[in-house]
Structure 1
């Protein structure tokens, strides 16, 4: 066991080391206001060394102006008669004469008899304290009031903190999301998100925002959403080496904007195709060749197959142009071209002729399509005399000079989306051009 003097000396050395290692300036005063302790951080902030500070009474004449010193001394000594800690702001002077505003926390020091024997004062520059408070306020605001999702992901790639907006976007309670694997929260997009998070932990945040397409499991519908995401790596400020504690993930739902952007791009492409088809058809020697060109340009990115049926003098539909079955290809004149197609009465092509408009049809919902065996979808297509593998059809009537020329059918296979209204509008524009070409080619019968 150490002798008492040696242990006491060791305690003093330990106390001195702790005081000098503090990240805040610290000074202590006895009951008379004489400085008894002064640590290294106080020296860094004000420039006065411990040897210059210890033994002085108050701050007057060295560390503060006379008017400021009296106020500071009164407030500090008043702490001995108060309970708990007091927070104050004082204007002090550095050794080179600069005036520094500091924020202090002071409390009484109890003597052996239980009565206050002095007061200690921990202080830091106000701007440093304000920076800390701003950081804390920003953190609290992000997790309470932010209008975008904020999720703190730990090093195991699991949510450690989730703000209210993120919970709403994931259609789950905040507590439910904590600690769960991302694959339990996202039906689609979890693997891509995990890959990005691993990169951020290892290399740092990507230079710009990332658009992630995800489907929150809590939504139930499986609808895909586009979340514009930013990432920041979180490291401990207390370690010698920056140790990643996790990743801050900030995101906002931009599905509407992205959908509008995609739709605009699609429309631009389609009508560029129409323009190119018009120019190419103008160079064709025959009008039928021009009709085939229009179909080829229209099929790009739009459908897998196209069929053109001409209305004969009796109003029956005769197949004159078709794309090959199996692999998609260019349209070509159908063999024969004189025998009416044996459509049943409820066929979409006959409905389009009757309505003088466009008819869209599908095997079923996307879930039905995925669940049904291939034989069922092929039977559905065969009943309509469409190529095997077809699951979506769009038929529009072709008109020229006030007469029904025939019908134009576009078909899509499995894995492609249903035809929508924008598709119908585009198909009608193509049909008008094909109808005019057939009329010029003399393949449109009078009447109808």
Structure 2
């Protein structure tokens, strides 16, 4: 009687468990083509049990049609003479007589001296295997060649994998961003991104893409970028229940597109306001009321305050209408006849001299001293407290300058740009006509000269 070998028995049980738990069908043939191993997944795919398969020579007469058996055996046994693994396709027959195309990987089984003594083959139905290979190919393509940024975020909301495009957009290296908190990678927008990721982990992917405004820390300009983002929750297919492994974040930069959309929306809104103002002003019996109504419509979303100064008979500027200095309110006539005490370098006087538009802003920083200087800057120009940006354009009617129109913004709003200047000039043309009609233009004022530009 042979002695009991506990280690050998344990190894055999482990091998049997591994073979039985494989997700692919497995069969092994010796050098003569006799089946020596047949696992549970092979039984599930084809219906033939291990007892029915082991010991048979080849597949002919049971697991393959005669026309297919020779080709299948030849392709498998050819792996004995090849180096490494070989991928091949062959047709087998299920126990109920259904012909199925298989896709398998086969490799030689060698003895202790390295001589081939058989072959094993792991196989699955071709369409299932091709689906897996397509998924792997897609994954590799996303991380190598995709024009979108792709980042795999783990359950702790830290990047676990990223492609080259994502690293470029985040202004860092692919290895440098792995495992780092998102706040270390983004100067702005990290909280919004983390909120979206937590939602995906808890509820699943949103039904549509999301536009996130972010600013990478590596971008020295500090400008915010709009990244159109899609999210997918990653779950493990290996567990009995889906286990969240993290999130796939796919994104592309649509900043230019969003800027164009926003500019288009802004232009449409402004010229709709002009159209509405024209219709409302046409119903006014008083021309000065019509001018104030034009400014009330123009201020919406454009500026915080508006001031209208008319020229008197001596060519001096007199306040004709304006919004309140404190809280925002409607533009009202002032009825004043006293000239405004503007200094010689005031933007309103510059606009009159140039017969054009002048833009100006306070360029201080956000500390206590800068706040005091900002108040003094506004006070010396006779503008409301808190003003940080001004735009002054000349009022022209019947070939002469009849006054100036000033728009003002507080510190929390952006500087006036060229598009703002063009819009202000459209409003000024309407206000100037109403002011002239009201008979409040005191004289020829400053003679019209070619526009010398803006500052």
User: What is the TM-score with the length of structure 2 in the denominator?
Assistant: 0.92
State the partner residue of 1:313.
313
Residue 343 of structure 1 pairs with residue 339 of structure 2: no
- Residue 85 (structure 1) shift: 3.2
Structure 1 distance, partners of 2:273, 2:83, is 82
SS at match of 2:230: strand
Kept after mapping to 2: 8 A contact 1:149/1:164? yes
State the partner residue of 2:55.
55
Structure 1 distance, partners of 2:304, 2:353, is 25
State the partner residue of 1:407.
404
> What are structure 2's unaligned runs of at least 5 residues?
446-455
State the partner residue of 1:195.
195
Task: Note the aligned Cα RMSD (angstroms).
Answer: 2.0
Once the two structures are superposed, the pairs formed by residues 53-202 of structure 1 within 5 Å of their partners are 53-111=53-111, 115-202=115-202
Per-residue deviation, residues 3-29 of structure 1 (Å, max 9, x unmatched): 727765565444333222111111122
Structure 2 distance, partners of 1:255, 1:234, is 28
Kept after mapping to 2: 8 A contact 1:227/1:253? yes
Once the two structures are superposed, the pairs formed by residues 254-273 of structure 1 within 5 Å of their partners are 254-273=254-273
Structure 2 distance, partners of 1:154, 1:283, is 64
Kept after mapping to 1: 8 A contact 2:314/2:442? no
SS at match of 1:175: coil
State the partner residue of 2:394.
397
State the partner residue of 2:287.
287
Once the two structures are superposed, the pairs formed by residues 170-249 of structure 1 within 5 Å of their partners are 170-249=170-249
Kept after mapping to 2: 8 A contact 1:369/1:414? no
- Residue 113 (structure 1) shift: 7.7
Match of 2:424 among 410, 424, 427: 427
Per-residue deviation, residues 220-247 of structure 1 (Å, max 9, x unmatched): 1111111111111111111222121111
Structure 1 distance, partners of 2:340, 2:15, is 100
Structure 2 distance, partners of 1:369, 1:111, is 80
User: What is the TM-score with the length of structure 1 in the denominator?
Assistant: 0.93
- Residue 209 (structure 1) shift: 0.7
Distance change in 2, residues 1:54/1:442 (3 Å): same
- Residue 161 (structure 1) shift: 1.4
Once the two structures are superposed, the pairs formed by residues 26-37 of structure 1 within 5 Å of their partners are 26-37=26-37
Per-residue deviation, residues 8-64 of structure 1 (Å, max 9, x unmatched): 556544433322211111112233212222112112222222233222210112222
- Residue 187 (structure 1) shift: 1.2
SS at match of 2:175: helix
Residue 436 of structure 1 pairs with residue 433 of structure 2: yes
> What are structure 1's unaligned runs of at least 5 residues?
none
Structure 1 distance, partners of 2:231, 2:47, is 40
SS at match of 2:218: helix
Kept after mapping to 2: 8 A contact 1:363/1:369? no
- Residue 116 (structure 1) shift: 4.1
Residue 416 of structure 1 pairs with residue 413 of structure 2: yes
Residue 370 of structure 1 pairs with residue 369 of structure 2: no
Residue 447 of structure 1 pairs with residue 444 of structure 2: yes
- Residue 186 (structure 1) shift: 1.1
Distance change in 2, residues 1:113/1:434 (3 Å): closer
- Residue 134 (structure 1) shift: 1.3
Kept after mapping to 1: 8 A contact 2:308/2:320? yes
SS at match of 1:388: coil
Structure 2 distance, partners of 1:292, 1:238, is 71
After the TM superposition, which of the residue ranges 434-443 and 101-110 deviates more from structure 2? Answer: 101-110
- Residue 175 (structure 1) shift: 2.0
Kept after mapping to 1: 8 A contact 2:315/2:442? no
Kept after mapping to 1: 8 A contact 2:392/2:407? yes
SS at match of 1:174: coil
Structure 2 distance, partners of 1:134, 1:310, is 74
Once the two structures are superposed, the pairs formed by residues 292-307 of structure 1 within 5 Å of their partners are 292-307=292-307
SS at match of 2:405: strand
SS at match of 1:279: helix
Once the two structures are superposed, the pairs formed by residues 320-339 of structure 1 within 5 Å of their partners are 320-334=320-334, 337-339=336-338
SS at match of 1:219: coil
Structure 2 distance, partners of 1:175, 1:79, is 39
Kept after mapping to 2: 8 A contact 1:92/1:99? yes
Kept after mapping to 1: 8 A contact 2:389/2:408? yes
